[in-house]
Structure formats: structure tokens, C-alpha cells
Structure 1
Amino acid sequence: MSERSGRCLCGAVHFTLTREPLATRICWCRDCQHLAANGSVNLMVDSDALQITGEVKGYVKTADSGNQITRQFCPACGTQLFARSSARPQFAVVRAGNLDDPSSIRPTMNIWASSAPKWACLDPQLERIEQQPQPPKAPAAAT
């Protein structure tokens, strides 16, 4: 894989992904719908594979599960960039629309499909998970 890069709308925050995403999904939870006014395409990555330059601010909300979800955004333009869960600090979520080349990834599943509005266009070729899926397994270490 070549590195993937991205930025916020104003360019004050840049990021680089140094490894392949562990999962790429369209999330239909109500929080993502509030953030994106639609489903949100997200990459789940190893936290240490995400390099960020520039200042980000965070907003913390308690999820239905009781986990603390920190959503990170650019304080200058408000672009939603990343999310992290207190239950899974080894992972970070990256909003795919902020990649320099969003076509370099392809979602493989719809998650929280039970929360999608009736008008949502869910690709029937993608795996459908009604709520939160199990976390992805980290790839085996190279030997």
C-alpha cells in the first residue's frame, strides 16, 4: 500500500495513513447522521497508523453502550475528521471524505443499518449489519 493522505476543508489539519484500513464502512448511526446529514463513510485504522499535523479539537459524548466517544474536528473550519472510543483506544476512525483520494477505498459494509432512514440508498451488495459490528481483527504481524 502507498500511504494515503487527507486534510480538513481549510487545510489547517493534514493526516497520513501509513497502513491499510482494518475496515471501511458506511455508518448509519444517528450520531453519524447528525455529523454528515446522511450515512458517513469511515475507515477504522490502527491508532498508531494515523499521523496528524495541525491542531484538532474534540467533543466527547457517551454512547448508548456507555463508552466515551471523542470526535475530533478542525477548530478553524469545523471539518469532522476522526473519532475514538474509550473501549477501543487501539483504533481510530477516519472520515473517508477527507482523504485526498476518497476513491482509493471502497466500503464493504453498512453498519447501524437499523437506524438508516427509509429513503437511504443502502447498496445491497454490501454486508448489512443492523447495529454495531465486532471490532476488526488486527492483521497478523509479519515474520
Structure 2
Amino acid sequence: MGYAGRCACGAVEVRIDGEALGVRQCWCRRCRKIAAGGPTHNAIFLTADIWIDGVTASDSYVADSGNTLTRSHCPACGTPILGGSSARPQMRVVRLGILDDPHGLKPTMAIWASEAPDWAIIDPAIETFPAQPPIPPQS
């Protein structure tokens, strides 16, 4: 199965020719800033399976782990596209909002729950980690 989508203005197209290694919601403070206060919703894919057409912009920062994290978005409309870590160049996290519906992906894990605001509602049926979880297995 594959996935496809476009940013809100249609300038950036994404196609993924592979299956998600995991689907997570992230409650870290940085993710909440780009997601208007709530968590980001992300599917992890192998970098080699992701194709992007269109101009993207990115920003990078050094995380508490010491790894450089890079986030990409559409420079025209601001739609978040994906993120990556210098520690795992073979993987990228694709923001679920860029994908066309229905894509069938839903979070099975909440991460950085220790940074969630007190009003956050985290589904008790999904696995929850206070910080960064283990790296997903690569199929």
C-alpha cells in the first residue's frame, strides 16, 4: 500500500511507497508549538520510500539528546510535511495532515507525555511514554 497527499495550497506533493513503521502522537513542547497547542500526529517511514515534489523549507535544532532534528514544511502555506533526526537518517516522520484521507493511519503510541498540558486527553488504550520511546523496528 502507498500513501499520497498535498499541502494546503497544493504546491508540495508527497508520495510514500511503503508501510508505516509506527504511528505516534508527540506531546513535546516543540511539536505542540507547530500543532497549535495539541500534539503532532506522525507516521514513521523509511526515507527511501518517501518522494516529495515541490519547494520545501526547513529548520533545524539540537534536541536534548544532542541529535539535530530537522522539520520541513511548505514555505507558501506552512503545512508541516515531515521531520527527521540525525541519529536515524534512514527514517522520517511524516505529518499525518499532509496525507490524503482516508489513509487508515492512527496513533498507537503517545510520546513525550510528560510535556503534555494538564488539559490533554491521551487515549488510555494506546501505549504512552513520558519521553522518547525505543526506535521502531525496520521491516
Sequence identity, in percent? 47
In 1, Cα distance between the equivalents of 2:33 and 2:130?
18
Superposed displacement of residue 102, structure 1 = 5.1
Moved over 6 A (4+): none
Structure 1: unaligned runs, 5 residues or longer: none
Aligned-partner residue type, residue 29 of structure 1: C
Deviates more, 1:5-14 or 1:97-106: 97-106
**Aligned AA for 1:21?**
A
How many equivalent residue pairs? Answer: 138
Using structure 1 for the length normalisation, give the TM-score.
0.93
Matched, 1:25 2:24: yes
Whole-angstrom distance in 1 between the partners of 2:119 and 2:5: 30
CA contact (8 A) 1:81 1:98 kept: yes
> What residue number does 2:33 align with?
34
- On the 8 A contact 1:96/1:102 being kept in 2, the answer is no
What TM-score, normalized to structure 2?
0.96
Q: Residue 106 of structure 1: CA displacement?
A: 1.4
Instruction: Map 1:49-68 onto structure 2 (within 5 A).
Output: 49-68=49-68
> RMSD over aligned Cα, in angstroms?
1.0
Measured at CA, do residues 64 and 93 of structure 1 come closer, stay the same or move farther in structure 2, by a change above 3 Å? Answer: same
> Within 2, Cα distance between the matches of 1:47 and 1:18?
10
Q: What are the Cα deviations for residues 3-32 of structure 1, in whole angstroms up to 9, with x where unaligned?
A: 111111100000011111101001001110
Contact 2:45 2:91 in 1 (8 A): yes
Please give the alpha-carbon distance, in whole angstroms, between the structure 2 residues aligned to 1:6 and 1:59: 21
